[in-house]
């Protein structure tokens, strides 16, 4: 059965961008939004959705795909609220930034049917601003879209047929690249490549404000390096709270490792060990090349 209607619960940056990307790639079906009334009005104005509902149970009615694009803890709650009443042929999926807690909830709600009912995902795309006003139809171009299989779920096999295959086709069509990773590995990786960079940027920006005050002309004087290091410090706490809670252990471990390296640098500012640290850091660039 082709996808005739998609419901996006959470019409903010990611949900709104996904809707706009579908539109750009000529999705012919209906896109339904679920959010606060003010957010739904903006989503309609920018052409992201055809209609909207404040209540998730109303928004999902008649949809072949339901995409949860809220903060992680809300995703966990929505799986419990929506999962039991969704038709068996409806695909429930998400774009949450952490996956272990989401996968556990899907297994709890759907049981043995979880592998046929749920697809856990996470597009590695975003901005430091939130809300549908910042949505971008090209947001997912060349971005990795992680899929994290549930236990005993053969996602690769599922992608060859049915609703899974069609949804994967739309991920590909909007420019993203699918990669598969177990939920635990995903959360550890993202702690390093996404969550810790955010915490470092937040800490640096907060320290600068504490040291120089909010009105100091820091960014122009600091140039590109400071702008890049602090750009994401304006990201909303409302999203990062759930990431920090749901991936606490991995973030703690990664931050500790970074703290140890910073301490090593601080203790060796006037020794040859600092040159060794620069050389070790250059290895990341070499690996990328």
| Confidence tier at 286 by pLDDT (50, 70, 90) | low
Task: Answer yes or no: is pLDDT of 264 > 80.
Answer: yes
The domain ranges of the chain are 5-181, 185-288
Reading phi first (left if > 0) and then psi (alpha if -120 to 50, else beta), residue 107 is in alpha
pLDDT digits (tens, 9 = 90+) for 82-105: 999 999 999 999 999 999 999 999
Under DSSP, the state recorded for 46 is T
- Which is nearest to 114 in space by CA: 139, 92, 141, 137? 92
Range with lowest mean pLDDT among 65-74, 99-108, 124-133, 189-198: 124-133
What is the structure's pLDDT at 158?
67
Range with lowest mean pLDDT among 57-66, 197-206, 214-223: 214-223
What is the structure's pLDDT at 287?
59
What is the structure's pLDDT at 75?
98
pLDDT digits (tens, 9 = 90+) for 231-259: 999 998 988 999 999 999 999 999 999 99
What is the structure's pLDDT at 160?
61
Instruction: Answer yes or no: are the C-beta atoms of 139 and 105 closer than 8 Å.
Output: no
Q: Which CATH architecture has domain 5-181?
A: 3-Layer(aba) Sandwich (3.40)
What is the structure's pLDDT at 134?
86
What is the structure's pLDDT at 54?
96
- How many whole angstroms separate alpha carbon 141 and alpha carbon 21? 9
- Kindly report the number of other CB atoms within 10 A of residue 179's CB atom: 13
261 vs 286, which has greater pLDDT?
261
Range with lowest mean pLDDT among 22-26, 75-79, 82-86, 220-224: 220-224
Which residues lie below 8 Å from residue 65, measured CB to CB, with a gap of 6+? 3, 5, 6, 7, 90, 91, 93, 163, 167
Q: What percent of the chain has pLDDT over 90?
A: 83
What is the structure's pLDDT at 14?
96
| Same fold for the pair 5-181 and 185-288 | no
Arithmetic mean of pLDDT, 113-128: 92
Q: Could you tell me the two tokens for 145?
A: 């879209």
Distances (CA, A) of 72 to 18, 98, 118: 17, 7, 15
What is the structure's pLDDT at 265?
98
Arithmetic mean of pLDDT, 54-78: 97
- How many whole angstroms separate alpha carbon 20 and alpha carbon 47? 7
Arithmetic mean of pLDDT, 2-16: 95
31 vs 161, which has greater pLDDT?
31
Q: Is the pTM of this model over 0.75?
A: yes
Task: Answer yes or no: is pLDDT of 228 > 70.
Answer: yes
Distances (CA, A) of 152 to 156, 158, 188, 269: 12, 12, 21, 51
Instruction: Answer yes or no: are the C-beta atoms of 71 and 14 closer than 8 Å.
Output: no
pLDDT digits (tens, 9 = 90+) for 149-190: 998 887 766 666 789 999 999 999 999 999 999 999 999 999
Q: Domain 185-288 classified CATH 1.10.287.130?
A: no
Task: Answer yes or no: is pLDDT of 289 > 90.
Answer: no
CB burial of residue 178 (10 Å; 0-12, 13-18, 19+): middle
| Residue 178 CA neighbour count, 13 Å, CB half | 20
Which residues lie below 8 Å from residue 34, measured CB to CB, with a gap of 6+? 7, 8, 9, 10, 11, 40, 52, 53, 54, 55, 56, 58, 59, 60
């Amino acid at each position: 059965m082709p996808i005739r209607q998609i419901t996006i619960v959470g019409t903010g940056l990611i949900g709104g961008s996904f809707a706009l990307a579908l539109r750009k790639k000529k999705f012919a079906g209906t896109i339904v939004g679920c959010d606060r009334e003010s957010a739904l009005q903006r989503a309609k104005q920018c052409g992201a959705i055809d209609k909207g509902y404040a209540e998730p149970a109303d928004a999902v009615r008649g949809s072949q795909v339901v995409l949860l694009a809220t903060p992680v803890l809300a995703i966990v709650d929505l799986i419990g609220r929506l999962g039991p009443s969704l038709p068996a042929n409806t695909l429930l999926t998400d774009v949450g930034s952490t996956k272990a807690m989401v996968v556990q909830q899907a297994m709890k709600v759907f049981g043995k049917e979880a592998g046929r009912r749920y697809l856990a995902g996470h597009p590695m795309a975003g901005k430091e601003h939130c809300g549908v006003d910042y949505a971008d139809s090209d947001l997912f171009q060349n971005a990795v879209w992680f899929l994290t299989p549930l236990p005993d779920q053969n996602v690769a096999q599922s992608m060859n047929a049915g609703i899974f295959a069609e949804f994967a086709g739309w991920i590909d069509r909007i420019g993203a690249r699918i990669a598969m990773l177990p939920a635990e590995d995903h959360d550890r990786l993202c702690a390093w490549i996404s969550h810790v960079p955010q915490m470092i940027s937040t800490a640096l920006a907060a320290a600068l404000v504490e040291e120089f005050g909010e009105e100091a002309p820091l960014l122009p004087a600091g140039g590109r390096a400071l702008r890049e290091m602090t750009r994401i410090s304006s990201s909303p706490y409302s999203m990062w709270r759930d990431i920090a809670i749901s991936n606490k252990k991995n973030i703690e471990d990664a931050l500790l490792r970074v703290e140890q390296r910073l301490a090593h640098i601080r203790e060796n500012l006037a020794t040859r060990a600092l040159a060794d640290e620069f050389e070790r850091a250059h290895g990341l660039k070499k690996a990328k090349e």
